[in-house]
């Protein structure tokens, strides 16, 4: 029975996160993170920008439910994912063919690693209600870290 509950939670965690994907990228959220990155990059502290949207959102009444927590993380994830994709596109333009192919393969490996890592965090909570926001939090954090990593290649 416990393995059935755990399997169900693992299936539902991405679905809860996917449901939150109906949110739209906010220009205000994007400006906040972009400003933070510009301010913190000079001191190699851009990782301190992770959570500047999600954390205050979690403190609101809407951020108290499992669904609300997932949406807080998803709201921030949309910005980091946009930064990640734009950085990837810009970096691709600066590389030769061999480097582009290598970056593409590394990125595919990273995507799979993120999926595995965040799945572990969801699995760790054994199907409890915290599994969905734990997955969303991990997905946001890992996407942000990767975006910052690629930005460093661009000298931003």
What SS3 string covers 104-128? HHHHHHHHHHHHHHHHHHHHHCCCC
Query: 4-13, 16-25, 94-103: which range is least confident on average?
Result: 4-13
Task: Band the pLDDT of 130: cuts 50, 70, 90.
Answer: confident
pLDDT score at 125: 65
Is residue 139's pLDDT more than 60? yes
Average pLDDT (99-106) is: 97
Task: Tell me the average pLDDT across 52-71.
Answer: 95
Read off the pLDDT of each residue in 85-95 and give the average, rounded to a whole number: 96
pLDDT of residue 129: 82
Residue 29 · residue 148 · CB < 8 Å: no
Measure the N-to-C terminal CA separation of the chain; round to a whole number of Å. Answer: 50
Q: Give CA 52 to chain center in angstroms.
A: 13
Query: Per the structure block, which two tokens stand in for 113?
Result: 């690693």
**Residue 5: what pLDDT?**
30
Q: How confident is the model at residue 123 (pLDDT cuts 50, 70, 90)?
A: confident
Q: How far apart are CA 152 and CA 46, in angstroms?
A: 10
Q: For residue 1, is pLDDT > 60?
A: no
pTM score > 0.85 for this model? no
Length of the chain: 156
What does the pLDDT read at residue 76?
97
Mean pLDDT (the chain, rounded): 85
| 90 vs 150: CA distance, rounded Å | 10
């Amino acid at each position: 029975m416990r393995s059935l509950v755990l399997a169900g939670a693992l299936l539902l965690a991405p679905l809860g996160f996917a449901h939150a994907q109906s949110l739209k990228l906010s220009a205000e959220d994007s400006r906040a993170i972009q400003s933070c990155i510009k301010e913190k990059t000079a001191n190699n502290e851009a990782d301190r920008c992770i959570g500047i949207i999600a954390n205050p959102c979690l403190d609101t009444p809407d951020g108290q439910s499992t669904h609300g927590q997932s949406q807080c993380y998803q709201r921030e994830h949309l910005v980091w994912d946009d930064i990640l994709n734009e950085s990837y596109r810009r970096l691709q333009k600066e590389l030769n063919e061999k480097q582009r192919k290598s970056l593409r393969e590394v990125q595919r490996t990273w995507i799979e690693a993120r999926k595995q890592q965040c799945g572990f965090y969801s699995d760790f909570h054994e199907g409890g209600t915290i599994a969905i926001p734990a997955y969303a939090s991990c997905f946001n954090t890992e996407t942000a870290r990767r975006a910052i990593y690629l930005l460093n290649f661009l000298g931003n």
